[in-house]
């Protein structure tokens, strides 16, 4: 009988990277829509990519957002936009 040599594959490095790859401003109330990509790489070669999204409204607490998203919110969420959004929400309650 001939024995089978068991060859071990060299240790492959898996890495995970998270990047906000798309930031959009949508609607009259200037919602900031953020797409986050999670990229898995093996030895530097991408083997998987998945996406998640979240939306930042004008009345949202932005302290947990990335500095880039915070900067965008600080520009587009003016007091006039915040007031218009608050009035829109108030009109929905009635």
pLDDT confidence of residue 93: 84
Nearest in space to 46 (alpha carbons), one of 11, 10, 17, 9: 17
Q: Is residue 39 part of a domain?
A: yes
Q: Is residue 7 part of a domain?
A: no
Q: What angle do CA 35, 39, 44 make, to 5 degrees?
A: 145
33: domain range? 14-93
Q: Is residue 84 part of a domain?
A: yes
N- to C-terminal Cα separation, the chain: 84
**36 neighbors 53 (Cβ within 8 angstroms):** yes
- Confidence (pTM): 0.80
Count of domains for the chain: 1
Residue 3 has pLDDT above 60, yes or no: no
Residue 44 has pLDDT above 90, yes or no: yes
Q: Is residue 8 part of a domain?
A: no
Q: Is residue 6 part of a domain?
A: no
Question: Which residues on adjacent β-strands are paired with residue 53?
Answer: 35
Q: Is residue 62 part of a domain?
A: yes
pLDDT bucket at 56, cuts 50 / 70 / 90: very high
- Residue at token pair 């040599």: 5
């Amino acid at each position: 009988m001939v024995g089978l040599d068991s060859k071990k594959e060299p240790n492959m490095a898996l890495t995970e990277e998270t990047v906000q790859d798309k930031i959009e401003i949508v609607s009259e109330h200037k919602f900031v829509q953020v797409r986050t990509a999670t990229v898995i790489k093996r030895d530097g070669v991408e083997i998987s990519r998945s996406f998640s999204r979240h939306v930042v409204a004008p009345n949202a607490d932005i302290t947990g957002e990335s500095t880039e998203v915070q900067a965008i919110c600080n520009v587009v969420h003016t007091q006039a936009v915040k007031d218009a959004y608050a009035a829109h929400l108030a009109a929905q309650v009635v």
